[in-house]
Structure 1
């Protein structure tokens, strides 16, 4: 049971790191029509994402890979139940990736407008749909004892699932606005910082509504009520929200972004801890739910995977920290002259 519990934690950690890193990319893309007033602004926003955006998505692949290798039954039922939503996310992410390259291949306003729209949709839709997917997981998915999903795509678009989607969008848009305030300068940076200040009460309000709705529609609070010390996790999220506001007022944008990152990680773990030991609960009958204990791979498989993770994850982290440090400066006009920057 210890190995299954460790891998459950690692599964949640990988999703949290993905949301923390790729969240600001999706946030910037979602803000693209709002803050991209000129061609220079759009170039600045794209370059602020690059060259980290594709590296950030490695964590998505890793999270999916861990689900497949450590909890294969969960992978099978999850990807069949959420197939439509996950395919939409995949196509949107592919569309966003090619849009960065294609928009500058033809000097045409109409051409660029098409790919600018794709950048927005390829960022906004994944942010929304990831929230919808996890919101539905939190409240339970209608699948039977054979793992067959008893619903449609519209079944997932229920009020609580959509609320979770809105929360994810708000978190990522805030994260993206703060990243723009850090990585850009001039009018764009000032507008991004002002927008972050306006977004804060919206994000806070949505978070409060989500916490109340979670108490009504899910059983996530059961683990917290059984072990009150776990309430430290949502308290970290609250502290992160307060930190965003405080550091915005001080114009300490990196500290505000770090507070935003802490909020995203804590929000993710709020759901993961509330789920434990369930990974994919059934709303039809709890007996059908898939947990860390009834859906895991063999102990030998989990042991071998743990050795690999211990050896290689620090290498990946070290590389990504180095990359972030290397490209930590503000985007300049010289950077805009080189297309390969993104």
Structure 2
């Protein structure tokens, strides 16, 4: 088995894909959160400002999803095939919602009629909410495992993805993104809208913390195997501790009006929670609830070592370029949103 710095290629690719999905969750997470709040903004001007806050970056943020999906297909084709066939319905809903969110943002300003803009506002907000929920539902199913049979084929029914735990993880994800999005909008706005969002972010923090606590308790009671790796290696408890401290620090920073730092810690929270997921699952990626022998792991679900080695080289070149471009865009459009003739 070929290794790099003592880590096998399959594990390295697992970390690369995890990093890509984490980048997507952080970047598009605040976009989805901002969209979820859109109907809570009462005036036309407020909604236009909120759209302009994400206008220069939302489509670039989705690039991370495309790259992560492509990396999953190339690095773990068995996982890609099994997950997409098992959750065909949520993924189709996800793609449909992505399309509606995109055209809602672009079409909203094409006509001045009030009914036209309100219709696209509803489509934009509902699609953002649905996207966050579906991401959490997929994650919830991955965490609890799926009925995978011989040849790693899905043997459950097409509605099995709709279960209480997956829905709880979906609601928790929505709460996290709404908090993340509200903080981002606060950073980008001023005046009356800024004050309105300052009140909304308090509600978002409460919503996320309550949903997170409920989901965590449910996980510990009904899926105790997810904590096995932490029990085996107590040093790993540093990750959930970091997540807890990060979450606790957000309302403190909001109270002190340190919104930039609160956004940083909101991003850290997203990262720590996904790192916890990776630790809970590894070396498994999709646990089989049908027979443990059919669990898809990092090693039996990966591409050949030669393929992984070539792609790791490509990732080492491409990932910094994507990160540099992303940083450049955010630096270019930093600061408060200003309305002009090019606004949405």
Q: Please say if residues 84 and 91 of structure 2, whose CA atoms lie closer than 8 Å, have aligned partners that are also in contact.
A: yes
Which deviates more from structure 2 when the two are superposed, residues 287-296 or residues 105-114? 105-114
Q: What's the CA shift for 1:153?
A: 4.4
Alignment partner of 1:45 is 2:50:
yes
Q: What's the CA shift for 1:168?
A: 0.3
| CA RMSD between the two structures | 1.3
What residue is the counterpart of 1:238 in the other structure?
Answer: 244
Q: What's the CA shift for 1:333?
A: 2.4
Q: What's the CA shift for 1:28?
A: 0.5
Residue in structure 2 matching 1:133, options 134, 138, 153: 138
Q: Please say if residues 152 and 296 of structure 2, whose CA atoms lie closer than 8 Å, have aligned partners that are also in contact.
A: no
Q: What's the CA shift for 1:301?
A: 0.6
Structure 2 length-normalised TM? 0.95
Residue in structure 2 matching 1:293, options 285, 299, 323: 299
What residue is the counterpart of 1:19 in the other structure?
Answer: 25
Alignment partner of 1:90 is 2:95:
yes
Could you tell me how far apart the structure 2 residues matched to 1:302 and 1:57 are? 24
Residue in structure 2 matching 1:206, options 204, 207, 211: 211
Residue in structure 2 matching 1:338, options 301, 325, 342: 342
Alignment partner of 1:194 is 2:199:
yes
Q: Please say if residues 139 and 217 of structure 1, whose CA atoms lie closer than 8 Å, have aligned partners that are also in contact.
A: no
What residue is the counterpart of 2:265 in the other structure?
Answer: 259
What residue is the counterpart of 1:73 in the other structure?
Answer: 78
Give the unaligned 5+ runs of structure 1.
none
Alignment partner of 1:223 is 2:229:
yes
Give the unaligned 5+ runs of structure 2.
2-7
What residue is the counterpart of 2:16 in the other structure?
Answer: 10
Structure 1 length-normalised TM? 0.96
Could you tell me how far apart the structure 2 residues matched to 1:170 and 1:153 are? 26
What residue is the counterpart of 1:329 in the other structure?
Answer: 335
What residue is the counterpart of 1:315 in the other structure?
Answer: 321
Could you tell me how far apart the structure 2 residues matched to 1:101 and 1:199 are? 27
Q: What's the CA shift for 1:205?
A: 1.9
